Structure 1
Amino acid sequence: MKATLPALTLAAILISPSSQALFGQGNTTTDVMTQMATQFADDQASESPLVQAITEQVDVSPTQAAGGASALLAMAANQLSGNQQQELASLRPDLSSLSSLLGDSGIGDNIGSLESLYNVADTLGIDAATLQQFVPIVLDYLGQKGASEGLLSALTGLWP
């Protein structure tokens, strides 16, 4: 219930006429972000230990924490290859509630650069400096879940 108000507020902002004018009427990314924010109101992502860690350490809502972490993981999945990509995928079942935010929408496939990552973050109301605060928390979480030094090093080089 605590996460419902911020999620609904974000959804209302994203679907307002002024937001559609700002982001472009019919913009696929905006439409998907609106769907994600709306879905989050009933989603279990706010119960994720990673989301809780982010919201405890960074001044963001659970919706922003889940969306930002999901965007970081999507970018990593798109940029990594070989064993590192497989290793990240093997850790992702733990993060399934976050991954479901990007799910089959196709938006995760479009996060392949820092610019696209920051665009998604901006849509969530997160600036680049705030998103950068997520990185050590996500890295620590993945390390606790058994990520190798090689994967953590690759992610450190990839993320801002």
Structure 2
Amino acid sequence: MKYTATLLTLSSLLLTTPSYALFGQGDKTTDVMTQMATQFAGDEVSQSPLVKSITEQVDVSPAQATGGAGALLAMAANGLTGSDQQELASLRPDLSSLSSLLGDNASAGGIGSMGDVYRAAEKLGIDAATLKQFVPVVLDYLGQQGASDGLLSSLTQLWP
């Protein structure tokens, strides 16, 4: 009985885990994004006002909204400097939960360009045109949270 249970468990792991993930050959940034979005789609993060706003305005699932917004925010955290970076960090009580899910991959430069964001979004089933629809929603949300015109301008340049 134990042998059968062990065999079934191992078989399910091998069959459900992409082979590149088993051997460490995948794109770590987008793998983390996919895992993060899937893991937290049903949790409190998907209940974030930002995630709700994205799913209401853009035809995406909560998992996609979570992952796409998290990727944009991680890129912003890596791309902004000085007072803009500090202001963004201070604005995000529920946003920090989105971008903190990325852990060291985001802060170590894992998401440092729009190309990285697009690759992460693609892994979540979001094309570039759809991801671009996230930007005004995120900017509007940040504006409602008290973001300065300077920060919003910097983000607009960062997320063309």
TM-score (norm 1): 0.79
Of all paired residues, the percent bearing the same amino acid is 70
CA shift for structure 1 position 122? 0.6
The residue that corresponds to 2:13 in the other structure is: none
Post-superposition offset of 1:34: 4.2
Q: Does 1:101 align with 2:104?
A: no
Quote the residue 2:44 is aligned against. Answer: 44
AA at the equivalent of 1:149: D
Structure 1 alignment gaps of length 5 or more: 1-14
> Equivalent residue for 2:131?
131
The alignment partner of 1:96 has SS state of helix
2:105 maps to amino acid? G
Corresponding position of 1:74? 74
1:90 maps to amino acid: S
- Match of 1:8? none
1:106 partner amino acid:
N
Query: Deviation above 3 Å: which 4+ runs of structure 1?
Result: none
When normalised by structure 2's length, the TM-score is 0.79
Match for residue 145 of structure 2?
145
CA RMSD of aligned residues (A): 2.3
Letter in 2 for 1:67: G
In structure 2, what residue type is equivalent to 1:97? S
Structure (1 or 2) with the larger CA radius of gyration: 2
Look up the equivalent residue of 1:95 and give its one-letter code: L
Cα separation, 2, equivalents of 1:126 and 1:40: 17
What is the number of residues matched between the two proteins?
A: 143
Opposite residue 73 of structure 2, the aligned amino acid is L
- Between the aligned partners of 2:34 and 2:94, the Cα distance in structure 1 is 24
Instruction: Determine if contact 1:44/1:97 at 8 Å carries over to the other structure.
Output: no
CA change 1:95–1:125 in 2 (3 A) is: same
Q: Give the C-alpha shift of residue 38 in structure 1.
A: 3.9
Query: Which consecutive unaligned segments of at least 5 residues does structure 2 have?
Result: 1-15
8 Å CA contact 2:50, 2:141 repeated in 1:
yes
